[in-house]
Amino acid sequence: MKAPGFRGASGAGRLRQIPVSLPKAIVVRGIVITLLLTVTAAVVVWWTTASHVRQEKLRNDYFWDSYLTTLYDLQGSWPRVADKLTADRASYADFGRLRIWDAERLPVFEPEGAIASTDSPSGDPELKPILYRGAVVGYFDAAPPLRPFIADWKPFIWIFAAAAAGIGLFLALSTAAKNGLSDERAHIRGRLSRLLANSQATIAGREETLQSEVRSNREAGALDQNIEHLLGQLELRIRKLEKVRKTMVADIAHELRTPLAVMRAQLENALVRQAPLSPESLVLLHDEVYRITKLVHDLQQLALAESGHLPLEKRWFSLRALTSSVAETLEITAEENGCRISVACPDEARTYADEARIQQVLVNVIGNAVRHARSSVRIAVESSERQTVIFITDDGSGIEEEELPHVFERFYRGSRKTDGNGAAAGLGLGLAIVKEYVEAHRGSVTVRSEWGIGTTFAVALPVFAEA
């Protein structure tokens, strides 16, 4: 028996025929966003290219001015300079775009294959004077090396990325709108289905149906609350990641600024003096290049570990041999800092892990302890059937309690900018690498410290973990 006023079959049929179409406003919005992003990217590429061309021309003019002045000083006359340039033409491709005139604006040197001209270039604003001992001895025009826009793939990547971003945003809006309409249609269908069921249940027993409806509404309300809670947590997580990203970019820029400034100063000084670098300067440049290389390598290893793609070459090895080797390597540094390293490890302590990664973990932790210790660093290994724990303890001044939760964060160096012996602190990546390497082995690392007494790091590793 059907409830009056309802047609179950035909009503359901009409519900299934409800069209799901995309609103025109969303389509227009997606197209506009795509065009705006593409135009913006093109403007940025044009501005960047123009700026690069200007800077390249300034550098090119500065180089040729210095080079031709020096060459004129060495050769003494423009004919000898022209002979020297002609002899070196095959070795330098840039000579093909160089033109030189003497003080009377008569041609001295023309590109290979160019038609010799005796016309005076007096009206050319691009000519650059060549000064020698306070007088103009000639002019030159040297176009920078040709770098066609089509040869540089990066601007096109930007344009395509912007277009892809716009298209992706458009598709996302389209999908969201379609899903929203589908959900709305399902919601309407569910409401009508419940109404039909309620009407039919009035004859069979309306009370039971109403109770079931109340329970369904309560469950739906609880589900909505859970969804809102999860969305709130997700928003907080996104904000935290964005803050970490901005902080990390600022820290990397800070760490690169000093070595790059030192290298630039040394090179500019050598260029101005027109003299080779001294061995002391070369050693300084080598140290700064090594510092930048180490920073890039550490960041790359951190990224691999955090993404779960850190390669591990696991095998069985002795922890006693490894800890003794690391302690012996750091013994000289410890003696210079006035402290002593002691190792207590059972002979049978072995583990299945990547020995090179675990060695790096021990070097970072023990080296950190040596820098902050006052007189001693103790290494103790406790091994069981399933787990091995390595304790590294120093008798330094300790870590303040509010800093303990942050010691394994990238670029975190605490309130002290120097170690216990007055030396500059590191980059703040060592303990972050320790944490990621240990967790890649399914282990854990913890720290406890008492101010004025010392600090203990505990590195826990499973004896055997296949994956």
pLDDT tens for each residue of 44-73: 777 877 777 778 788 878 888 888 888 888
Residue 298 lies inside a defined structural domain of this protein: no
Interior angle at CA 277, CA 272 and CA 282, nearest 5: 135
Residue 1 pLDDT > 60: no
Determine the Cα–Cα distance for residues 139 and 130; give it in Å rounded to an integer: 5
Higher per-residue confidence, 411 vs 55: 55
pLDDT band at 5 (very low <50, low <70, confident <90, very high): very low
Return the structure tokens found at 404. 């303990």
Residue 342, strand partner residues: 378
Residue 448: CATH number of its domain: 3.30.565.10
Residue 302 lies inside a defined structural domain of this protein: no
Residue 363 pLDDT > 60: yes
209 & 326 share domain:
no
pLDDT at residue 2, as a whole number? 43
Q: Which of 186, 203, 221 is the last residue of a domain?
A: 221
pLDDT band at 297 (very low <50, low <70, confident <90, very high): confident
Contact 319, 390 (CB under 8 A): yes
Q: Which of 178, 198, 221 is the last residue of a domain?
A: 221
Q: Which residues of 99-117 are buried (b: 16+ CB within 10 A; e: fewer)?
A: bbbbeeeebbbeeeeeeee
> Mean per-residue pLDDT for 398-409?
85
pLDDT at residue 24, as a whole number? 66
Determine the Cα–Cα distance for residues 359 and 184; give it in Å rounded to an integer: 58
pLDDT band at 199 (very low <50, low <70, confident <90, very high): low
Q: What percentage of the chain has pLDDT greater than the value 90?
A: 17
Q: Which of 169, 187, 221 is the last residue of a domain?
A: 221
Residue 242 lies inside a defined structural domain of this protein: no
Residue 157 lies inside a defined structural domain of this protein: yes
182 & 47 share domain:
yes
217 & 350 share domain:
no
Domains of the chain: total:
2
pLDDT in tens, 340-360: 999 999 988 899 999 999 999
346 & 201 share domain:
no
> Mean per-residue pLDDT for 94-110?
80
Full domain range(s) for residue 355: 313-462
Higher per-residue confidence, 56 vs 93: 56
Determine the Cα–Cα distance for residues 341 and 369; give it in Å rounded to an integer: 10
201 & 317 share domain:
no
> Mean per-residue pLDDT for 192-198?
66
pLDDT band at 131 (very low <50, low <70, confident <90, very high): confident
> Mean per-residue pLDDT for 446-454?
90
Find the farthest-apart pair of alpha carbons in the chain and give their distance in angstroms, rounded: 117
Residue 176 pLDDT > 90: no
- Taking alpha carbons only, the member of 424, 354, 361, 350 closest to residue 385 is 350
Determine the Cα–Cα distance for residues 290 and 118; give it in Å rounded to an integer: 54
pLDDT at residue 340, as a whole number? 92
Q: What percentage of the chain has pLDDT greater than the value 70?
A: 65
Residue 296 lies inside a defined structural domain of this protein: no
Higher per-residue confidence, 197 vs 280: 280
> Mean per-residue pLDDT for 292-312?
79
Through-space distance between the first and last CA atoms of the chain, rounded to whole angstroms: 63
142 & 28 share domain:
yes
Q: How many residues does the chain have?
A: 467
Residue 262 lies inside a defined structural domain of this protein: no
